A and B are shown apart, each in its own frame.
Chain A
Amino acid sequence: MPDAAEAQVVLKPIPFTMAADLERLRTFGEYVNALGVVSGLGISDHGPAGETYELSSIFMIIPHSSQFEPPELWINDAPMPAASIGRASLDAKLSKDWGRAAIVALATRDLRNAESLQVAERAEALRKIRRYLIAERADVGGNEGQSAAALQQLIALVNRAVGP
Chain B
Amino acid sequence: MRRVVLACVFVFATNPGWGGAPIKAFEPGKPPPAEVLKDVPVKAVVAEFLDPDNTHLGKEVGYVLWRELLTSVSDQHGVGVIYAHAAGKKRLVDMLQDKYHEAALEIAKSQNARMAIWGALTESDGVLAVDTYLSLVGDVPQQELAVKMIVDDFGRKKPSGYEARVSRTRFNFPRVFITKEQLFDRPLMVAADTVLYNTAGRGKVLRQAQYNETLHTDGVEGEWFRVLLADGTHGYINSINVYLPPREVDASDLPLGAKPAENQEGETTWLPSNTIGAVLEARFAGKSGLFFRIKTSQGEGWVPADRARPHFSMPLVAFTAGLYRYQLGRYDLAASAFGNYTHLQGVERDAPSLSTAYQLLAASYLMRNTPADWALHSLDAAIETTPFDAGAYSMRALASLSKPEGRVGDCLGDLRHALDLDSEQADARNTVALLLGIKPGRPNPIEQRGMSFTMTARDVETLHMMAEKYRISAK
Contact bitstring B399-437, A, C-beta under 8 A = 1, else 0: 000000000000000000001111110000000000000
Q: Is the CB of B423 within 8 A of A140?
A: no
The answer to whether A148 touches B388, judged by C-beta atoms less than 8 angstroms apart, is yes
Partner of A139, one of B123, B125, B351, B469: B351
Chain A, 77-128, CB within 8 A of any chain B CB: 86-89, 92
Number of residue pairs spanning A and B whose beta carbons lie under 8 angstroms apart: 62
Q: Which residue of A lies closest to B175 (CB)?
A: A92
Residues from chain B with Cβ under 8 Å of A140 in the complex: 351, 386-388
Q: Quick check: A92 and B167 within 8 Å, CB to CB? A: no
Q: Given A92-B129, A131-B424, decide whether A138 and B388 contact each other with a Cβ distance below 8 A.
A: yes
In chain B, residues 321-352, which have Cβ atoms closer than 8 Å to a Cβ of chain A?
Answer: 351-352
Are A142 and B98 neighbours in the complex by a CB distance under 8 Å?
Answer: no
Do the beta carbons of A3 and B168 come within 8 Å of each other? yes
**B104 CB to nearest chain A CB (Å):** 15
Interface residues of A in 1-17 (CB under 8 A from B): 3, 8, 10
B122 touches A88 (CB 8 A): yes
- Structural contact, A164 and B388, CB atoms closer than 8 A: no
Does residue B452 face the partner (Cβ distance < 8 Å to A)?
A: no
A3 and B170 contacting across the interface, CB-CB below 8 Å: yes
Q: Is B233 close to A, CB under 8 A?
A: no
Instruction: List chain B residues, Cβ under 8 A from A8.
Output: 98
Q: Which of A86, A142, A148, A164 contacts B125 (CB 8 A)?
A: A86
CB atoms of B167 and A138 under 8 A apart: yes
Contact of A137 among B122, B385, B388, B469 (CB under 8 A): B388
Residue count of chain B within 8 Å CB distance of chain A: 31
CA distance A27 to B347 in the complex (A): 40
Q: Contact string, A1-42, partner B, CB cutoff 8 A, digits 1/0?
A: 001000010100000000000000000000000000000000
Residue of B at shortest CB range from A131?
B424
**Number of residues on chain A facing chain B (CB within 8 A):** 20
Cβ distance A28 to chain B, nearest Cβ, rounded Å: 22
B385–A141 CB distance below 8 A: yes
B390 within 8 A of partner (CB): yes
For A141, list chain B residues within 8 Å (CB): 351, 385-386
B51 at the interface (CB under 8 A from A): no
Chain B CB within 10 Å, residue with most, of A135, A141, A148: A141
Compute how far the CA of A9 lies from the CA of B40 in the bound complex, rounded to whole angstroms: 36
- Note all chain A residues with C-beta closer than 8 A to B386: 138-142
- B429: shortest Cβ distance to chain A, in Å? 12
CB of A88 within 8 A of CB of B177, answer yes
Q: Please report the C-alpha to C-alpha distance between residue A88 and residue B131 in the assembled complex, in whole angstroms.
A: 10
Contacts A139-B351, A139-B352, A141-B385 given; indicate if A164 touches B470 (C-beta within 8 A).
yes
Determine if B390 and A88 form an interchain contact, defined as CB atoms under 8 angstroms apart. no
List A contacts of B469 (CB < 8 A). 164
Cβ contact within 8 Å between B389 and A164:
no
| Residues of B near any A CB (own CB < 8 A) | 98, 122-125, 127, 129, 167-170, 175, 177, 351-352, 384-391, 419-424, 469-470
Can you name 19 A-B residue pairings with CB atoms under 8 Å? A8-B98, A10-B98, A86-B124, A87-B122, A88-B122, A88-B124, A88-B175, A92-B129, A134-B421, A138-B168, A138-B389, A139-B351, A139-B352, A139-B386, A139-B389, A140-B351, A141-B351, A142-B387, A164-B420
